Structure 1
């Protein structure tokens, strides 16, 4: 039996459409200026993620090509952030918004951190872009560290786990266990409890079921992840109208892995846009 998890009400109608269009237009302008200044890559990364979530807010099934373009742009810009931050001089060539672009070296950037790494990796998984998954997985973990006090240690264990899994490195099980233990509220002291429970831990739990090939347990875990996502984003009025809650990014990415591995996914939800999950748009244009 298929379980349906309805998405909470977000801003709808002409106003939401106008917002998504405005964000998309601004993003295109920002992308076109990337070759002029290293200072723009941070802003463009944030803009790309916001435009992606705004598109998902008004097109919850990702049935329109504009939503796929926003997804790909977000992946490409986030990947470009890490590519530009990896070099201190010269330029890097990146495909963004259907064009190869030459972006100035930026050197180490505070935003090229573990948090944005996770967003970039999830987007690469959703876009089934294995080359970008490899590029992100080859970034040394130490390069992703932020000043002490910004993140709990669990996030570095989590990045290490995902990099090890994709590159088929050793000690995956031990690293995943370390991630789970470090994400325990008794250990993680910086991250708010509701944020950890509602949005950050569920992808870890889903990945646990995925790597164990737990086909019977995956769908119930995905259902629980979406319920927790909904609970977090409806806790108060401000969150309920925030377009960042329009999509469950981490759970969607792990669900894409499970879908591609023929796991039974007896769940439907606008938090998991159907055409992103089912890779409908793959091959529409080079990514």
Structure 2
């Protein structure tokens, strides 16, 4: 930040204020001086060291210490051997960061020593430090740098602003009115006066890592009050560094820990398939545009059969989108979309012979012969299975149950409970012993717990993904009343998760609809409800589906 000549002059001005046997950091002083004319530097240096002397004098009363103490993040390089020896209570909280207590005095901030802590008591001092830190005034704003990642910037005049990252969930509640997601947040603390974070809610986490790395590094280099150039993962109160420095090339890179990397893979896959509520844009899906998009995707299959997955995703999105204006699937165009989704989904996993499919008034679309090459996409298999059940496609269900679980198990974006759930459905629909079905259902339940799931949002698992298994439990127990209660709960969870979102998947609860269809066919008294298209549930819209 200074030229060699300027740095030498700053050291010369600082030398009379320092002791020969102590090392003194001039980083913050350099940040201040670089923005001022050099003829003002002597006064700045004198004022800086006068403030340090006043702050280090000590002698405050217990009441004064409790009134002014704050929890404080310090850069690890700021702890000289002398400070370290006097602050045995301090502890590392993440790579490059140390937790300590600091006194906010009238003219300067003083780092507390072991003697200060002993005078007040560690527990009492800690409670006061937390309370004082939580009252530090901050300003909050949302920043969108590039792509779709949204960053929350928190800043203020206090030198304790960045230290509020220690209690990031509380800070998020104050700034946004809601808690951080169970997956936590990415966060940077580049200077004492600034932090920025990104709640981990969807696939935009990939963009956010790069955005935060650039944002944090720039602020760290600009200063003053530099704290850390690293990107951290805040998760359940802990900070984990993701920044790796290469001392040979003098470069840095971002390497998420395995747990976060798995979570990111899962969120990206879920997001791309439109399964996450995320941030609602308020724009309703355009059925006409989706119809043209799906028709074009089907038209490309003859030349690009490997694009079948994209065509299926588009058709499934279209089927859900129709429910926004035709919630009962009473119209032919709506049924055509559901039938096309079944055709493309089953072709994706079990192959198909040449056949036609229809999308409303568009000309008949030709689906070419496609060999059976099931992809390692567990949730796409579940979608296809649910569609086949809803559309009463017994032959397609049988073929889906013959898709090897070993292939689907290669999907590293899903948690174990998803694969156990597929195993349960394949076992049940293959008419194997009920004891085997129950054993696999129990495995599904055991692997969907909070401490086990690592690749999906907790609320998505609880409110959406696990609900079909909960309904299936009541279905095989043949308990009509409890099935009805569980179905009402599943639909309420669906509404709670999606809120007022206009996303296609918000319109139909596909998994519960499939379980309700099985129950209806087994004589359960299942009544049409929101998110359950009436004419699919009662089979009145079902027609023959080619392929």
TM-score, normalised via structure 2 length: 0.45
CA contact (8 A) 2:450 2:458 kept: yes
8 A Cα contact 2:339 2:545, kept in partner: no
Q: Secondary structure at the match of 2:519?
A: helix
Runs of 4+ residues over 4 Å off in structure 1: 104-108, 284-287
Q: In the alignment, is the contact (CA less than 8 A) between 2:356 and 2:366 conserved in 1?
A: yes
The offset of 1:81, in angstroms, is: 1.0
Residue 263 of structure 1: which of 524, 528, 532 is its match?
524
Report if aligned partners of 1:76, 1:96 keep a CA contact under 8 Å in 2: no
Partners of 1:77 and 1:96 within 8 A in 2: no
Q: Hey, what's the Cα distance between the residues in 2 that align with 1:114 and 1:102?
A: 24
Q: CA deviation at 1:32?
A: 2.6
Question: 1:228 aligned to 493, 496, 499, which one?
Answer: 493
The correspondence for 2:349, drawn from 82, 95, 116, is: 82
Matches within 5 A, 1:239-254: 240-254=501-515
* Aligned partners of 2:388 and 2:396 also within 8 Å: yes
* Aligned: 1:160 with 2:440: no
Count of aligned residue pairs for this structure pair: 260
Q: Check whether the contact 1:38–1:106 (CA below 8 A) recurs between aligned residues.
A: no
Aligned to 1:5: none
Q: Which has the higher strand share?
A: 2
Task: Give how far 1:100 is off.
Answer: 6.8
Q: Higher relative CO (CA 8 A, sep ≥ 6), structure 1 or 2?
A: 1
Deviation sequence 1:77-124 (CA, Å, 0-9, x none): 01111134xxxxxxx515451677333548564xx4111000000000
Change in 2 beyond 3 A, CA 1:96/1:231: farther
The equivalences for 1:1-287 within 5 A come to: 16=284, 19-84=286-351, 92-97=352-357, 101-105=367-371, 107=373, 109=375, 112-148=376-412, 150-170=413-433, 171-234=436-499, 240-265=501-526, 267-283=527-543, 286=546
Query: Which of 138-147 and 254-263 deviates more?
Result: 138-147
Please report how far the alpha carbon of residue 146 of structure 1 lies from its aligned counterpart in structure 2 after TM superposition: 3.2
Question: 1 CA distance for matches of 2:468 and 2:459?
Answer: 15
Q: Quick one: distance in 2 between partners of 1:39 and 1:286?
A: 21
Tell me the distance in 1 between the aligned counterparts of 2:543 and 2:370: 29
SS of residue in 1 equivalent to 2:353: strand
Structure 1 gaps of 5+ residues are 1-9, 85-91
Task: Please report the RMSD computed on the Cα atoms of aligned residues, expressed in angstroms.
Answer: 2.3
Secondary structure of 1:103's match?
coil
The one-character-per-residue Cα deviations of 1:111-142 (angstroms, maximum 9, x if unpaired) are: x4111000000000000000000000001101
Aligned equivalents of 2:517, 2:400: Cα separation in 1: 18
Q: TM-score, normalised by structure 1?
A: 0.83
Larger proportion of helix: 1
Structure 2: 5+ residue stretches without partners: 1-279, 359-364
Mapped partners of 1:139, 1:106: distance in 2: 9
For 1:108 and 1:125, how far apart are their aligned partners in 2? 19
Which whole-Å CA distance do the structure 2 matches of 1:83 and 1:164 have between them? 18
Given that 1:52 and 1:71 are in contact with CA atoms closer than 8 Å, whether structure 2 keeps it comes out as: yes
Deviation of 1:286 after TM superposition, in Å, equals 4.4
Report the CA distance between 1:11 and its aligned residue. Answer: 9.8
Q: C-alpha distance in 1, partners of 2:306/2:411?
A: 20
Shift in alpha-carbon separation, 1:228–1:187, aligned structure 2, 3 A: same
Measured against aligned partners, the alpha-carbon deviations of 1:34-74 in whole angstroms (never above 9, x if no partner) come to 12212321210111111111111221011101111111111
- C-alpha distance in 1, partners of 2:326/2:453? 35
